[in-house]
Amino acid sequence: AQTVTQSQPEMSVQEAETVTLSCTYDTSESDYYLFWYKQPPSRQMILVIRQEAYKQQNATENRFSVNFQKAAKSFSLKISDSQLGDAAMYFCAYRRPNYGGSQGNLIFGKGTKLSVKP
Amino acid sequence: EAQVTQNPRYLITVTGKKLTVTCSQNMNHEYMSWYRQDPGLGLRQIYYSMNVEVTDKGDVPEGYKVSRKEKRNFPLILESPSPNQTSLYFCASRRAGRGYGYTFGSGTRLTVV
């Protein structure tokens, strides 16, 4: 069974600085997708960035980028120029492709709480 | 606006009193899913649906029922709620096909006393 591990329960960053959140996963699949979701105090789950395992290029969305290391099964999230609005819980998630009857369930890590200091 | 709408946002109920949490999406998504979020456990899937009349159990289905009679709606039913079902519930939907992420509703905070 696939598992997702976020080893940092809490992180802190100074405003305008850069922070990296770690995520590792365990799978025997070669084709899959990885996601980072943000959950601010409003509790809304917001998709931040996605990565397809067959793409070697790391995904980037504005100030958010990932470091995807497929052999190491690592998927870290880098937030550049951190802003007060980035303070939230961040969840790493894994999904299999939906073929062969699989419905491509999202498997979540337990989350990292990010604080941003002014 | 493309969205997943859940109702109610907050609900306090008593043990054994049947309740339904509604979920509706306006994006014509094939896949819909229910998750519960508990402190220290992250999000866990309860039930999912791949299309109308196609539903199946997720990781923690005990005590829950679902139905998918229309593509846009996917209600979660608790026939006899118990205190261990106190949790934050999310409905989510996505398009079928490669790489699509789920769009989540705003969550329903359920307390069973």
Contact yes or no for A47 and B40 at CB 8 A: no
Among the listed ranges A16-30, B38-52, B60-74, which one has the minimum average pLDDT value? B38-52
Q: Return the pLDDT at B87.
A: 98
DSSP for chain B, please give it: ---EEEE-SEEEE-TT--EEEEEEESS--SEEEEEEEETTTEEEEEEEEEETTEEEE-S--TT-EE--SSSSB--EEESS--GGG-EEEEEEEE-SSTTPPPEE---EEEEE-
Best mutation site among A25, A43, A44, A90 for testing chain B: the one with the most B CBs within 10 Å? A43
B44-69 burial string, b = 16+ CB within 10 Å, else e?
bbbbbbbeeeebeebebeeebebebe
- For residue B106 the two structure tokens come to 């705003």
Residues ≥6 apart with Cβ < 8 Å to A28: none
Which of B49, B102, B109 best probes binding to A when mutated, by most A CB atoms within 10 angstroms? Answer: B102
**B46: which chain A residues are within 8 Å (Cβ-Cβ)?**
none
Instruction: Calculate mean pLDDT across residues B13-19.
Output: 97
Q: Consecutive 10-residue runs of chain A (118 residues): their mean pLDDT? A: 91 97 93 94 93 91 96 97 97 79 77 96
Tokens of B18: 């049947």
Contact call for residues B21 and B75 (beta carbons, < 8 A): yes
Partner-chain contact B42 A44, CB within 8 Å: no
Q: What is the mean pLDDT of residues B81-96?
A: 95
Check B104 against A97: CB less than 8 A apart: no
Predicted pLDDT of residue A65: 97
What pLDDT does A103 receive? 62
Whole-number mean pLDDT of chain B?
Answer: 94
Spell out which residues of chain A touch residue B50, defining contact as CB-CB under 8 Å.
98, 103
**Residue B52 token pair:** 């109308």
Interface probe for B, chosen from A2, A98, A110 (most Cβ of B below 10 Å), is: A98
The token pair that represents A1 in the structure block: 């069974």
A-chain residues within 8 Å CB-CB of B4?
none
